[in-house]
Structure 1
Amino acid sequence: MKITKKVLLKKEHLTDEEKIHKYKNEIETLEQVDYSPLYSQDVAYHNYGYIHTFRVISDGLRLASMKQFMAGVLAGIWIGLVYAAVAYATFSINNQSITRLLTGAVFGCVILLISFLGGGFVTAHMWYNRTMFKKVERWSIFLKACGLVYAGNIVGIGIFAIIFQLSGALEHTVLKDASGEIIKTLGDHIYSSFGSAKLYEIGTAINAGETLTAGEIFKTIGYVLASAVLCNFLICLATQGSKSAKGNTVAAMVMYFLILFFFAIAGYQHCVANWFGAWMLILRVISDPNAKNANMAWAFVAFNIIPAILGNFIGALIIGTFMGLFNKEFDVLLVQEARMKFLIEEIERIENKKIKK
């Protein structure tokens, strides 16, 4: 009995011809399915949004590598522009509630830039991650697309941050008291609001010049991770919500803006947007190299960016699963249709590989 179990659990190894034969049989079965409900305009708004988000992201994974990378670069530049606007808008305000509302209102505009000028977030791609477990797509294709877009996001924010630093705005934009003494610069504001504040206990400890403890590190990682999960609940819903508008541009923009407004006022951790803070901290080290600045920069990448990536991925997996169950009758058809396209591509890939040999 034990031997039988081992044989059953052993991974099946097929020749290329056997794989093609197996895939063709599966394609024949999938072709018998009626996919017409996926193409109806009469479905409910939430169903329509789910269907078209699935398709848009699936197609996006197959874009040319340079196009994926440049989409990330553009989105990164737009994020830099918007975060700079947020920094200016909140620079001299001491009321936290007003600061949060302004942040939400200004940051929400980034989606208008992306929608009308182009761009892509890696966090939007993550909406599709649960389908990988259903063998709809190869992990290599999904991870390559995510990697290219994310690399573009980082480069785009970096380009903006470097030019912003060189403009002198960080030092020359100042807040003075009644006597004319400088209270803080725009650079100080960004360092605090978009840097140390997002590191919670670790940020406080570094500012105080204290040695980091294991408790502070684990608390910060936990806070960032949980916040990032909530963040991608909203980011994924923003993408789906805009598609639910059935082509109505105004309604799509309202859906996008509202959900990003909720995300921004809460200050949730976003593995792309947080690179604005990371780049500003890195550039601060270059312009003013000291132990405090250096510690804040490396700690931000290690204890904010990395946990945020994991949290965003988990958040997309959770909300994507819930939305898939809610739209189950359409999700089943979408998965079958995507699986069929994937198998056709796999057959082409195997045949091309044989020709090259």
Structure 2
Amino acid sequence: MSECPCCLEVLTPALLGLGGRRLAGSCGLCGDEVCQHCLRSGSPDVEVLFQNAGPEGTKTPRASRRQACASCLWEALAARGGTPSFPEPPGRRRRAAQAACTHPRAVRWMRCCPCCGLELEWEAEHGNPLCDACGAPSHEAFNACWACGESFEEKNEAQDSAEGYALDFDCRSRRCEGKVAWLMPYCPWCATAQRWRPSTEESAPACAGCEAKLEPTWAFCTACGEEAPLPEECFSCAASLDQVDCAARCEHCRRMVCGDCFGDYALPGARELLLCTACAEELGARPLVEEEPPEPEEPEPPAAARPAPHSPWEVLGVAPGTPLAEVKQAYLALITQYHPDKVAQLGPKLQALAAEETRKLNQAWSELRQRADRGSA
């Protein structure tokens, strides 16, 4: 454990026998092991607390071990209408938040809820392995057990995202090697609070929700999660963003630029990003030129004379008879170009065009996959 569950202060060893913060004992009611600053015993309030603890209490300690944590004591005094002489412990507020949390952002591979920090029960799925060391449910794509850390000696490559969460930031705990996503209050692996810090710049814009200072590269406030207000001017050309047709956030520098200052670019390795002009030059990216459809020279022919629709092979850009595995790779490479996140900042017409292309790709892939299934049958 890296922090006290009552005061949430980081546990530190004493220096030359002085100072420090360590675990001193367990609360007789909730059972949490807390530090010496949060463990209360011998006071009249503690005695009354244990006298009122009936059969429904989590524990009924001996008279010599009547000691409670500050969270339980604060909660009991407040429930009786009293005014505690000390501030509400942060751990008590977190405990209340955990009780009310429905874990909306937790998915099956997380050990802890990223919203409230509560440790979750993760049941094994059909066909998935178990950890040989501790028996915890695992997954075939894991390189180590999420419960005990035992290595599986696997070499599965780390993914950029999991279940839709982009894991771009290191957990702030030195003992944890996990990754966290933007604005997760707690690490989904070790439950360490992340404590995202607002900007310290005097000229930084303020959040409309909580007035915390924001960096110009942030899409959301780090203090309350509210969507950050858009800047007034384009970062590249200083054009007013209220008067331009469209604007987007560069996927490299994260700054907002107008439609004349960003575009789709390809990086070495066939990776495609939405970049501003400055970042494209810095990264040496090449622009993706979209072929404009030719203007019709003649009236549209009747239905009987119209050309046949493109085959699924042509839609996916592969030759007929290509193995299904290679067809899938081509499909995934194309479908990512029209992902909603890629076109969220574009105009309605371009978004509609991306949706239509996505429909064609999905239809072509589904048809070829069904053909392969019928052929194998």
TM-score for both structures, normalised by structure 1: 0.20
Counting strand residues as a fraction of each chain, which structure ranks higher?
2
Counting helix residues as a fraction of each chain, which structure ranks higher?
1
TM-score for both structures, normalised by structure 2: 0.19
| Greater RCO, CA 8 A, separation 6+ | 1
